[in-house]
Amino acid sequence: MYSALPQSVEVRRSKLSGRGIWAKNPIRAGSVIIVAKPYASTLSSENLQSYCSSCFAPSGPDGMKRCTKCRTVYYCDSTCQNNDWKIHKHECTSLQNWFQAAPSSDTLPPSDAVRCMSRMLWKGRKTDSTVINRLQAKEIANMQSHRTNVKSSAYETYTHLAHALVQYMSLTNPSDLAEFGLSSAADLVDIISRFVTNTFTVTDPALTPLGAAVSPLVALINHSCDPNAVVVFPRTAGDPKSQEPLMQVVAIQDIYPEEDSYIDVTLPTSSRQQALEETYHFKCTCHLCTSKTDVDPREAMNCPKNCGGLCPLPSDEHSLVRCAKCKSVVKSVEATLDAVRVGQQGLDKATRLQMTDPAKSIQLTTNLIPILTSAGLSPSSHPLLGLTRLHQSLLTASFPDPLTQDHLDETIRTATKNITGLATLLREGHPVLALAVTELGKLLAVDEPSPQSAPSQNIPTSMAYPPSGLPRLNLARDTLLRARNMLLVGFGTVNEGGQVGGEVREMIVALEKEIDVFKQGVRNVLEDRPKIKT
């Protein structure tokens, strides 16, 4: 079960956090701590047609092979189809029955949660599982269940999952349950609770969510809101396709003995605590949640006297706030409170509309960001950072054809603000920050539709942002070099920064050539100018 653990870590039990993984020896930042194939994994419904259900690779130029029986899942080729058949043979029948019983042709497959739990159960089935699978099924059973602590607000979700799981797997009587080691409805709820509490999101190398996965080994790692390690799916060229999707736990800072590790959140403390208690049923006691710092940058505003310090955001309970540096009092408390409330409501609405009405979502973020900025919120503060990240995503997804200089430059400025906020909260090697810097570098490297020799509004060329021409290319190269160094940490030095790290390396080489050509062209023009005689 623990063969994937290196000698530098061990499984241990703590009175405070239960079983977990601790460092026995020092671990360098960028080191891959654990490499493990999930016990069970599934694509989300919207990705079933565009990604392989075995190795999770995206569809290639020749498309993919669809299962001719269930006509729901797709594979890269016959090799991937054969690799997945041992589990898919059960899934295939269930999918066929699901659609045959559907009231209309528009019925969607069950959710990735239902399909992933089904794969968990089929894999641990007593009749046809291997010794390894049975051991891992035992570890699944040992994962923490919070059935007795489930809040009433989650009853509907658990009930829906239970009904869908029973219907999908055709579990009609107690003997059907017994085949999977379940003897009662309580056992079924335990399975659901273990899944909800211990599931991971499978992502592509750019951290785009693809589906759900369960790994009892990786689930042993304890949570921290200020993580020293992250879980990624880098898809390096050397990994065999049969092992994908491959989970890797990577240290993003030096880790010393007695430290444990885990995931990331950038919301304010109160929001993180609420989400962790509702979903994972524990109160986080990491240093970020328990430290008594003067100002949490997630809930901060700039000093009204512009001294460079930060003030905590005012609240209804704490309306008197001062700058932590110069002790100046914030006077416009009501205006700030109103701005934060409007910003949160706008962020919620824009997030809901981003797929159905992206134009309206862009309008909301465009209007709200200046309001929160004028109210003095720092770039790392919530909900300003959330609005900035969403605004960048929307601008990138809505590049006009043909691309305009104004749209490109606005996207670059927004990406820069996003990095400013994230860099305050995340370590330099965090994969989220690394990918944000990568995105900025790629945007700066895009060919300018109409480069300007001098910026408008009487701004000196040396102060314009983003710059144009050769300075822009140089900035793109420097940004991608920074991203490359961060990717080596966030996605593992041994992985060369994963798939994205390889792409960035190739972009840097191309930019170096383009910069040389640009410089050579300018040099030739200067040399060819007629000499002026005096």
Q: Of 159, 177, 206, which closes a domain?
A: 206
Residues 6+ positions from 188 with CB-CB distance below 8 Å: 162, 165, 166, 177, 182
pLDDT, position 486: 97
Q: Note the pLDDT of residue 275.
A: 66
Average pLDDT across the chain, whole number: 86
Q: Identify the domain containing residue 476 by its residue range.
A: 429-534
* pLDDT over 90, % of the chain: 55
Tens digits of residue pLDDT in 29-42: 999 999 999 999 99
Would the pLDDT of 104 be above 50?
yes
In this structure, how many other beta carbons lie within 10 angstroms of the beta carbon of residue 100?
A: 7
- The separation between CA 491 and the C-alpha centre of its own chain, rounded to angstroms, equals 13
Q: Is 294 among the domain residues?
A: no
pLDDT at 264: 43
The mean pLDDT value for 471-497 works out to: 96
Structure confidence at residue 17 (pLDDT): 60
151-165, 265-279, 311-325, 375-389 — which one is most confidently predicted on average?
375-389
In this prediction, residues 328-344 reach a mean pLDDT of: 91
Out of 182, 206, 230, a domain closes at: 206
In a domain, 81, yes or no: yes
**66 lies in some domain:** yes
Q: What is the mean pLDDT of residues 428-435?
A: 93
Structural domain count, the chain: 2
- Residue 353: inside a domain: no
What is the predicted pLDDT for the residue at 183? 81
**Is residue 178 included in any domain, yes or no?**
yes
- Write down which residue in 165, 190, 206 finishes a domain: 206
CA 226 from chain centre, in angstroms, equals 15
Helix H or strand E encompassing 440: helix 431-445
- Which region among 22-31, 68-77, 181-190 has the lowest average model confidence (pLDDT)? 181-190
Q: Beta partners for 40?
A: 214
Lookup: tokens for 430: 């965090």
Type of residue numbered 458: N
pLDDT above 70 (res 533): no
Question: Mean of the pLDDT values across residues 37-56?
Answer: 95
Token couple for 37:
């194939």
Say if residue 87's pLDDT is above 90.
yes
Confidence of residue 217 (pLDDT cuts 50, 70, 90): confident
Asked whether the predicted pLDDT for residue 90 surpasses 90, the reply is yes
User: Does the pLDDT of residue 263 top 50, yes or no?
Assistant: no
Instruction: Classify 450 as helix, strand or coil.
Output: coil
The two structure tokens encoding residue 225: 């809101």
**Does the pLDDT value for residue 46 go beyond 60?**
yes
Mean predicted confidence (pLDDT) in 97-112: 88
Please say whether the beta carbons of 270 and 304 come within 8 A.
no
pTM of the model: 0.82
Is 263 a member of any domain? no
Q: Is the pLDDT of residue 505 over 50?
A: yes
Position 25 confidence tier, pLDDT thresholds 50, 70, 90 = confident
- Write down the pLDDT at residue 526: 55
pLDDT band at 534 (very low <50, low <70, confident <90, very high): very low
How would you label 326-335 residue by residue, b for 16+ Cβ within 10 Å and e otherwise? Answer: eebebeebee
More confident residue, 114 or 128: 114
pLDDT at residue 145 in the model:
62
Residue 158 domain flag: yes
**Res 262: pLDDT:** 45
Has residue 154 been placed in a domain? yes
**Greater pLDDT, 198 or 271:** 198
